[in-house]
Amino acid sequence: MPQTVKAIRVAAYGGPEAMQLDEIAIGDPGPGEIRIRHHACGLNFIDVYQRTGLYANPLPLALGMEGAGVVEAVGEGVTHLKAGDRAAYASNPPGAYSEARVMPAKCVVKLPDAISFETGAAMMLKGLTVQYLLKKTLPQAGLQAGDFVLFHAAAGGVGLIACQWAKALGLQLIGTAGSDAKCQLALEHGAAFAINYQTEDFVERVKQITGGKGLKVVYDSVGKDTFVRSFDCLQPFGLAANFGNASGKVPPIDLGMLAAKGSIYVSRPTLFTHIATRESTQAMADDLFSVVPSGAVKIRIDQRYALKDAAQAHRDLEARKTTGCSVLLP
Among 115, 129, 43, 134, smallest CA distance to 325 is for: 43
Distance separating alpha carbons of residues 224 and 194, to the nearest angstrom: 20
Question: Please, which pLDDT band fits residue 1 given cuts at 50, 70 and 90?
Answer: low
Which domains does the chain carry?
3-125+272-329 (3.90.180.10), 138-268 (3.40.50.720)
What pLDDT is recorded for position 17?
A: 97
pLDDT in tens, 215-271: 999 999 999 999 999 999 999 999 999 999 888 889 999 999 999 999 999 999 999
State the chain's mean pLDDT as an integer: 96
Model pTM?
0.92
Residue 317 has pLDDT above 80, yes or no: yes
Q: Which helix (H) or strand (E) holds 204?
A: helix 202-209
Residue 75 has pLDDT above 80, yes or no: yes
What pLDDT is recorded for position 35?
A: 98
What pLDDT is recorded for position 246?
A: 83
> Could you give the 3-state DSSP secondary structure of residue 193?
strand
Are the CB atoms for 196 and 177 separated by under 8 Å?
yes
**Ramachandran bin of 326, using left for φ above 0, alpha for ψ from -120 to 50, beta for the remaining angles:** beta
